[in-house]
Each structure stands twice: as structure tokens, then as C-alpha cells.
Amino acid sequence: MRITIAGAGYVGLVAGTCYASTGNTVVLADTDAGRIAVLQDGKLPIYEPGLGELLAENIRTGRISFTTDLAGACRDAEIIGIAVGTPSKSDGSADLSYVDAVAETIGKNIKDYCVVVTKSTVPIGTCRRLEQTVRKHTDVPFDYVSNPEFLKEGSAVSDFLSPERVIIGATSERARKIMAHIYAPFMRQGRRILFMDPLSAELTKYACNAMLATRISFMNEIARLAETVNADVQQVRMGMGSDSRIGKSFLFPGLGYGGSCFPKDVKALVYTGNKHGVNMGVVAAADTANESQPVVLFNKIKKYFNGDLEGKKFAVWGLAFKPKTDDMREAPSVKLIRSLLAAGVSAAAHDPEAHETAKAVLGDSITYHENVYEPLTDADGLIICTEWMEFRTPDFRRMAELLRRGVIFDGRNLYDPDYVNEAGIDYLCIGRGDAIVNRDRQ
Ligand SMILES: NC(=O)c1ccc[n+]([C@@H]2O[C@H](COP(=O)([O-])OP(=O)(O)OC[C@H]3O[C@@H](n4cnc5c(N)ncnc54)[C@H](O)[C@@H]3O)[C@@H](O)[C@H]2O)c1
């Protein structure tokens, strides 16, 4: 089929590449001319494992192309996807100006029946708003479908190619059939498409993100309690996760959730509840707990140095909001680093992929190092913000030699405290009590 997607970001680029890989002809349209130029050059504007190879193959076969001319790309399309951003406004509501603009362009330019599909995460009721916007500008028949996206950055390609399920909110049988057709190649192993009405599809997406975010905030709260009562949250997590009613995922305490989805979607759901007079107390509490979570590690660092952080230098491992991505949107590392800088600290960081994106946020307020051990030289400690695989079994003896003060503040609970202590390094983490062997050096 001929598919046009508005927005060549994480979602549009992955979805477009995956649709192309099953034989569809895909045009990705984006207002960001720089991004389109990078893609036309055969390069990736983002880091996403496995995407580069798949994209290169689809460019080579001519199944995918890139343009800034969304209007032109709408004229011939059988399916038009909307995958533009829906960022938070200052009141917590979702900024719909990008999806509105795309709907208007679609309405003004379609020439024949097509299916308009929203993949962006949009507040409940946006389906009606966008359908009306398209309708206002055209008499051409079209169907509107809500198809929220559930891919995870870091495993987006495999998530898209092998989805656990696909949610399709549609009222027209014709549109349902078309959507079933384009997803059929990803459903061959019996995975399911769940058809529902568009309003329910929109709410399903928010409900999923809010549930996962709530699990994380819940575990962070349990971690605070575990630490206070001398329990080990790692053991508690294993005990909880082995209960099949609860499951193992999204129970890791840490610096709190970040990224382009959970923080904004949780806030938007609370806003929607308030707007309709429904108290979203559980979800609001998840948000409040998350806002304060990076402070937990900051306070530990401050306490370890008896309140005096002025002039200290820290190594930081990991900047991206999670591993296997270069996405810095709402990364907890930023909040923590900014608090440290405000306290008179300097920081030297290493992230396997996020230096460029981090520079856009933190500029030259910190230094960036390609070598993982380099930032440790003469540092007063190491702070771990992202659980990249390559940080999991480092050379602790080498670290002890490089660090001026042997201490690790681990916001991701990566290590066995005894093992770290054996190298002469103090180890402070989340919800497990502090393992300190260097008391005399404090
Ligand atoms: N990133 C994720 O992991 C993820 C997962 C599921 C759902 N979502 C949702 O998908 C949507 C997109 O997220 P993203 O992370 O891909 O965003 P993104 O910021 O990476 O990409 C959005 C792109 O849309 C482009 N754009 C803006 N206005 C445009 C217009 N009028 N026409 C064409 N292009 C335009 C921007 O230039 C940008 O390149 C959001 O609603 C998000 O909540 C994201």
C-alpha cells in the first residue's frame, strides 16, 4: 500500500521503516528540513538498535523516501499516519498544535479515499477533533483510525515487527480491513489486533503508560521504606515479581522514570481527569513521587560528604533516560546533574550514545568522554544514572585506583555491594542500605 507518515521522529521513522520492510511504499514527511536531509543522505538522526540496517535496505529498494512536502505526500496516499509530537504544555495538558496542523494539511490535500491514522499519543477525544478538522477542509471520503503506538525506545524495531498486540480504534469496517491488512505481516505468529472504538483506543494508551509509570513510582516508594527499615528492595522486588499476578516488569527502583512518554502522558491523564471532574489521585501521586526521585540520590551524595559538595568532581556514567537510546527528553540525569552543579560540583560524563543529545540539554556545563574510565580520574566519586549493559561488570580495582575517593552512587542498583566493597569502594544505591567501608576517609 502507499503510506505517508507525518513526523519522522522515533515513532514515525520506526513505523515507516517497518511498514516499508513488508513491501509497502512509504513516504516520511517532516517539517524539520535538517532531519529530512540527514535521512535523504542515508543516515539516521536518532540512535535506535537495528534501525539503521533496516532503513538502509528499504532506501536501497526504493520502498521508503523522505520529504518536507507533507501536502504533496498526502495526495497519492492510501493511508496517512500522524506521528508528530504531543508535548506537555505548562498546565500538564498535551499540546495538540502539531497534530492539528497535520490534520489540516491532510484535509486540504487528499484527492481520494484514504485512512487517516493517529499514532501519536493524543488525549481522549482527539479522534473527534482531528476527524472534524480533516472534514472541514475536504469532501473526499476518508476514515479515521486511532492506532496508538506501544514501541519502546531501545527495542523499537523488534517491538514493532513482533508486537504483543496492536490496538486499532475504528468505527468503519473498511478501515478495519485496511489496518488488518497492513499489520497482517506482523501477526503471523498468532499475535492479536484488538479492535475497539477510537475513544477507548486513545484511553488505552494513556492507561498503559500511567500503569507502568505507577509501578515504577510504587517501587521507588517501597525502596525508600526498605532502606529505612533495613530491608533490601532487590529481594523484595524478586519476591514481588515472582508472583504471576504482579509480574517482573517495571518494578526496578531507581532515579525515576523519564523519556518522552511517561512524564508527559501521566501529567496529561491527570489533566484529562480533572477536566472531566474525575479525581486521578493514584496517577497524580505517581507523578509527584517521580518528580522528587532524583533528589533521593542527590541527598545521599550530599550526606556522604557531610553536606559539603563545593569543589567536588564527579564522574557520571549514563546520561540518556534509559539504555539503548540517545533520547535525553526528561532524563533523570539532567535533574540530578543540575542539582549537583548548583551545589558547586563539576561533572565528567560518559554515555555510549547520548553525548550529542546531552550537549543540546546540558551544553558545556559538564565534560563528555568517549572512554568509560576517563571521567573517573581524580573524581570524588562515580554516579550511575543509566543502566547501560557495559556498566554492569566493570573493572572495580581499576576504578578504585582512578577515583580520588572510592565511592559509587548507583541510581540503578547495578552491583553486589559486597563485591564493590571488596575493591575498597563505598557503595550507595537505592533501597538497599549503604555499604560503606571507607569511613575513615570521609
Ligand atoms: N518515542 C516513543 O517511544 C513513543 C512511543 C509511543 C508513542 N509515542 C508518541 O508518538 C508521538 C511522536 O513521538 P516521537 O518520540 O516520535 O516524537 P519526535 O519528537 O521524535 O518526532 C516528532 C517529529 O514530528 C515532526 N513534526 C512536527 N510537526 C510536523 C508537521 N506538521 N508535519 C510533519 N512533521 C512534523 C517533528 O519535526 C519531529 O521530527 C508522541 O505523541 C509520543 O507521545 C512515542
Quick one: what percent of the chain has pLDDT higher than 90? 97
**Ligand 1 center to residue 313 CA distance, Å?**
37
Helix (H) or strand (E) segment spanning residue 314? strand 313-317
Cell of 44: 539516521
Q: pLDDT band for position 384 (50/70/90)?
A: very high
* C-alpha–C-alpha distance, residues 441 and 154, integer Å: 40
**Any idea what the Cα angle at residue 89 is, between residues 88 and 94, rounded to 5°?**
55
Q: Give 55-84 as a DSSP string.
A: HHHHHHTT-EEEES-HHHHHHT-SEEEE--
Q: Is 125 helix (H, G, I), strand (E, B) or coil?
A: coil
Residue 6 beta carbon below 6 angstroms from any ligand 1 atom: yes
Residue 70 beta carbon below 6 angstroms from any ligand 1 atom: yes
Q: How far is CA 10 from the centre of its chain?
A: 9
Residue 326 beta carbon below 6 angstroms from any ligand 1 atom: no
Helix (H) or strand (E) segment spanning residue 106? helix 97-109
Q: Looking at residue 439, what is its pLDDT?
A: 65
Nearest Cα neighbor of 275 from 72, 94, 87, 69 is 94
Residue 40: count other Cβ atoms within 10 Å of its Cβ. 12
Residues 241-288: pLDDT tens digits? 999 999 999 999 999 999 999 999 999 999 999 999 999 999 999 999
Residue 115 beta carbon below 6 angstroms from any ligand 1 atom: no
Q: Annotated catalytic sites, by residue? A: 261
Q: How far is CA 412 from the centre of its chain?
A: 16
Which of 47, 149, 159, 328 is the pocket-test mutation for ligand 1 (most atoms within 8 Å of CB)? 149
Q: What is the mean pLDDT of the chain?
A: 96
Residue 306's alpha-carbon distances to 98, 311, 439, in angstroms, are: 48, 14, 12
Residues 279-332: pLDDT tens digits? 999 999 999 999 999 999 999 999 999 999 999 999 999 999 999 999 999 999
* C-alpha–C-alpha distance, residues 296 and 400, integer Å: 24
**Ligand 1 center to residue 284 CA distance, Å?**
24
Q: pLDDT band for position 188 (50/70/90)?
A: confident
Grid cell 569502594 is found at: 425
CB 330 within 8 A of CB 260: yes
pTM above 0.85, yes or no: yes
**Ligand 1 center to residue 348 CA distance, Å?**
31
What is the crossing angle of helices 198-228 and 126-136, to 10°? 140
| 173 burial level (CB within 10 Å; 0-12, 13-18, 19+) | exposed
Residue 108 has pLDDT above 60, yes or no: yes
